[in-house]
Structure 1
Amino acid sequence: MSLKVFDLQCELGHVFEGWFSSLENYDSQQAGGLLSCPVCDNRQIARKLSAPRLNMGRGKDESGAGQEAPLGQPSGKAQPVAALGMEQLAQLQAQVLQHMRQMVRNTEDVGADFVQEARRMHEGEIEERAIRGTATMQERESLARDGIAVMPIPDYLDDDRLQ
């Protein structure tokens, strides 16, 4: 099965990738309200214009010899490319998820005090450290407006919420 990778953007301007089995799969998830920004959890998501690599066939150089034609250029030398097989892609995704779970495990859980702790660190009142906790959408948006970068942690990355 081939995956479709779309550039997505939330209404607050965060850009991220979404991987879908098809355009129809993206459309149904969008219509069902299943898409959310991984940075701010905003659910107003739009698909951005993207420039996929297109196989344009063979171009001809001055001598008439066939060469790969890069997108946007009439002719030119072939460019190196790589593609992962499905098994390699699954392994890569598993490694990324494992790394992300380890990053979450290495944070201090401050629970409901998250917003206050994040503000205190931002203001230099306390030493910076990696923390996690709970915050409402409005609190996350307020932190973002004040220049404090936070992101929601999906349940599947937080061992405490999986139990």
Structure 2
Amino acid sequence: MIQYALKCSHGHGFDSWFQSAAAYDKLRAAGMVVCAICGDQHVEKAVMTPRVRPARNAVDTPKSPPEPQGEAVPLNVPRNAAEHALAELRKRVEDNSDYVGREFASEARKMHLGDAPARAIYGEAKLDEARALVEDGVPVAPLPFVPNRKAN
């Protein structure tokens, strides 16, 4: 397979894949290579830079890390508004709910059926367990973070 950068007579640029260079020439001669934007049949190869992979046995030279700008910030510190919002949500969930770990599905089902007292819980469930809870009408929602595992 080969990828070409192409350009029509109207100046639209687009990429397309071909089985080989000969296949491109054959399709172009038959008028089957057309602009993906306007349908123009006057399409030519555009100038492009080749993608060259290093040899499989080539040794990667380590790249120097980017220069820090300003003070270095630890990775666990929120850096923008979205990260601050997620950190606040995590704090609220952890402060106002009971962590039930991998027993989340069974605890949620027990509360839904009235076999356990209702309370706010969070934990972990496999995809099929969560899907079964939703199908059975148990009110659950995924969290946008992975809970910290607490040792009980």
Q: TM-score, normalised by structure 1?
A: 0.37
- Higher relative contact order at CA 8 Å, sep ≥6: structure 1 or structure 2? 1
Higher helix share: 1
Larger of the two Rg values belongs to structure: 2
Q: TM-score, normalised by structure 2?
A: 0.39
